[in-house]
């Protein structure tokens, strides 16, 4: 993995590929490369950023004019899985004679066996990657049967492959086509006027066309300047729906903010309104979630809900557990998707499995989805990307409508997911546990959240000052109870992701069961201490930290003077009922993590070793 872009048409392919790779930089990567067809096959790749690749192109000694005359090519940003980040491991990878170029997202699980067989045939490997084995395999098959052509050679090679892949392959023998294939790693084809674009997501495509086709698992496509043909790996032609992208270029630009992450934090009031728009009928006390209407009775009659997700989406799922159990009184379990299928879970046809993923392409979450579906559960999806694999493979679902999220560390996706889960819990409660008037009250409070988030964002300068005080800390502890325990986990994750400071989230009451041993004058402790039924207990926990000389940063409700006497720093948020509080308490934690990371000189939008969408196990 991580980013794929391809182009065939009449324009400067190299320029389009480099621009496309820049659009994909947010996904996280360690090297980049392009291959273009310009009579022969020209390849440039290296460790580092796309901007460094552009400089290398100018200094490469290759004819820049010739490179920029090419009108077809492929490009890749790599996030290392096999082999360290280096020039030799960067994509594209070439066949032995340099006539075929391949880029690959995913993991070839049986590459070692394929590599061993190819070495026995005399092939030499110049990288440590699994991907190189595949380009040599295609070359071997085509060399044995020259008459079959590139498409058939790729198809035959994929019969031998175990694992996940998103592939683009070009050949100087057939310079007017790009062959693409997908299994477990997303690919999108953009349809222009006499030109076509290929990418791992829509970001590099949207500035050129809004008409796209999403490939499904087990599909291949041959793309030429005249059109495309999509078939299964078994060579069965497929008719595909053309989708319209629902966002424009402005949404993937920084819009005057220094970083995408900061922009996305500030977008949250608008995002929360977008999540509710058309779904909440405040005067009637009704929620309309069109994507689950046909299955609503089945959802309400479920004996159990299982939520599967990873990372930030898992934290949102924990809040969903609290919401669904409190509002609808349906038992809920929350599983790490990465563990779900490996523990032989007990799943029945009376269960509902909800999978949550910002991208809709998270490999572990997709695996959990498929296992639950095989066992007969009703599988529902919550995701942000229209046309994503989760959206296509679930029977029903809800889009979050958060818009493109470019920053690797998720912010607005989290609050959008929590809002969707809040609306889902209210929907499930109707006719079961709540009256319309009760639902109306909860909706009225939710409707007021965007304005409250705006008020919190106005404290950014004060949060910046707190961040400066703690930028050199080596450890943080985040504590919360009830609905705010998952927020503590999410706050700690944000700090780890972008500042590289070790941080842990815990239920506040668990502090005495181990973490208290860590507390001294060098340990900042962040308490989410809003006024709810555990408020007095949290105050006691704060006193315990103070007695051990720990530094206390509190997230508290406006007007709380008592907490001001106990904490070293207080960030105030508007008062709200417990189910709504996570949408407010997480905002200062996002800002605090962001500012600490910028003070430390970290790359906030592209933190080291991380990828935006984890499409491999």
Q: How far apart are the first and last CA of the chain?
A: 11
Q: Determine which one of 2, 168, 310, 396 is catalytic.
A: 2
Query: What is the residue whose two structure tokens read 């007095």?
Result: 536
The first and second tokens of residue 176, run together, are: 């007017």
Phi, psi of 73 (to 5 degrees): 180, 180
Catalytic residue status for 2:
yes
Per-residue DSSP letter, 237 = B
Asked if 422 contacts 398 with a C-beta cutoff of 8 angstroms, the reply is no
Beta bridge partners of 190: 197, 212
Distances (CA, A) of 520 to 122, 389, 568: 62, 47, 14
Phi, psi of 484 (to 5 degrees): -90, -5
Query: Cβ neighbours of residue 130 under 8 Å, at least 6 residues apart?
Result: 81, 82, 104, 107, 108, 111, 163
C-alpha span between 337 and 316 (Å, rounded): 13
Distances (CA, A) of 197 to 74, 135, 157, 361: 10, 22, 24, 20
Angle at 364 between CA 478 and CA 325, to 5 degrees: 55
Asked if 24 contacts 188 with a C-beta cutoff of 8 angstroms, the reply is no
Collect contacts of 133-136 with beta carbons under 8 A, ≥24 apart.
133/108, 134/93, 134/102, 134/104, 134/108, 134/161, 134/165, 134/167, 135/93, 135/94, 135/95, 135/100, 135/101, 135/102, 135/169, 136/95, 136/96
Catalytic residue status for 383:
no
Q: How deeply is 201 buried, as exposed, middle or buried, from its count of CB atoms within 10 A (0-12, 13-18, 19+)? A: buried
Pairing of the two strands 31-38 and 40-47? antiparallel
Q: Determine which one of 45, 47, 177, 612 is catalytic.
A: 612
Give the residue numbers annotated as catalytic, written as ranges: 2, 612
């Amino acid at each position: 993995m991580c980013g794929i872009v391809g182009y065939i048409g009449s324009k400067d392919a190299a320029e389009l590929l480099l621009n496309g790779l820049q659009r994909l930089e947010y996904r996280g990567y360690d090297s980049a490369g392009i291959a273009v067809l310009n009579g022969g096959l020209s390849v440039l790749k290296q460790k580092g950023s796309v901007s460094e690749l552009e400089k290398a192109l100018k200094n490469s000694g290759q004819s820049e004019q010739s490179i920029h005359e090419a009108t077809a090519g492929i490009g890749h940003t790599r996030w290392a899985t096999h082999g360290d980040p280096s020039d030799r491991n960067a994509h594209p990878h070439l066949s032995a004679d340099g006539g075929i170029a391949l880029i690959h997202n995913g993991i070839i699980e049986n590459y070692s066996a394929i590599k061993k067989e190819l070495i026995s045939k005399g092939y030499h490997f110049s990288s440590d990657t699994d991907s190189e084995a595949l380009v040599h395999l295609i070359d071997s098959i085509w060399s044995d049967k020259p008459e079959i052509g590139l498409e058939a050679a790729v198809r035959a090679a994929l019969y031998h492959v175990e694992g996940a892949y998103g592939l683009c392959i070009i050949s100087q023998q057939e310079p007017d086509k790009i062959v693409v294939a997908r299994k477990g790693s997303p690919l999108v084809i953009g349809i222009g006027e006499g030109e076509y674009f290929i990418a791992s997501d829509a970001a590099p495509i949207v500035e050129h066309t809004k008409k796209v086709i999403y490939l499904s698992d087990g599909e291949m496509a041959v793309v030429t300047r005249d059109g495309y043909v999509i078939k299964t790996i078994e060579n069965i032609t497929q008719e595909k729906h053309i989708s319209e992208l629902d966002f424009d270029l402005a949404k993937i630009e920084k819009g005057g903010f220094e970083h995408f992450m900061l922009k996305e934090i500030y977008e949250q009031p608008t995002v929360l309104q977008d999540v509710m728009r058309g779904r909440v009928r405040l005067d009637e006390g009704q929620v309309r979630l069109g994507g689950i209407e046909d299955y609503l009775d089945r959802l309400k009659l479920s004996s159990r809900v299982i939520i599967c997700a990873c990372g930030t989406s898992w934290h949102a799922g924990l809040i969903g557990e609290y919401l669904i159990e409190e509002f609808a009184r349906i038992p809920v379990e929350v599983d790490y998707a990465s563990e779900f299928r490996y523990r032989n879970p007990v799943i029945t046809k009376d269960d509902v499995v909800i999978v949550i993923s910002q991208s809709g392409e998270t490999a572990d979450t997709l695996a959990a989805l498929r296992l639950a579906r095989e066992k007969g559960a009703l599988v529902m999806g919550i995701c942000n990307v229209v046309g994503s694999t989760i959206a296509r493979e679930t029977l029903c679902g809800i889009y979050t409508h958060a818009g493109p999220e470019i920053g690797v560390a998720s912010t607005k996706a989290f609050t959008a997911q929590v809002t969707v889960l809040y609306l889902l819990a209210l929907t499930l409660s109707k006719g079961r546990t709540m009256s319309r008037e009760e639902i109306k009250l909860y909706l009225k409070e939710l409707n007021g959240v965007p304005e409250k988030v705006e008020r919190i964002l106005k404290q950014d300068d004060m949060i910046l000052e707190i961040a400066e005080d703690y930028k050199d800390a080596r450890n943080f502890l985040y504590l919360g109870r009830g609905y705010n325990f998952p927020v503590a986990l999410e706050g700690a994750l944000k700090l780890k992701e972008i500042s590289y400071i070790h941080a842990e989230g815990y239920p506040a009451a668990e502090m005495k069961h181990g973490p208290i041993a860590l507390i001294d004058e060098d340990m900042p402790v962040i308490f989410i201490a809003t006024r709810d039924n555990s408020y007095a207990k949290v105050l006691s926990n704060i006193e315990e930290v103070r007695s051990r000389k720990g530094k206390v940063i509190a997230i508290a409700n406006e007007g709380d003077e008592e907490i001001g006497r106990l904490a070293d720093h207080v960030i105030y948020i508007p008062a709200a009922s417990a189910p709504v509080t996570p949408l407010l308490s997480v905002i200062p934690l996002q800002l605090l993590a962001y500012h600490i990371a910028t003070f430390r000189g970290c790359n906030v939008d592209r933190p080291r070793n991380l990828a935006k969408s984890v499409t491999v196990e």
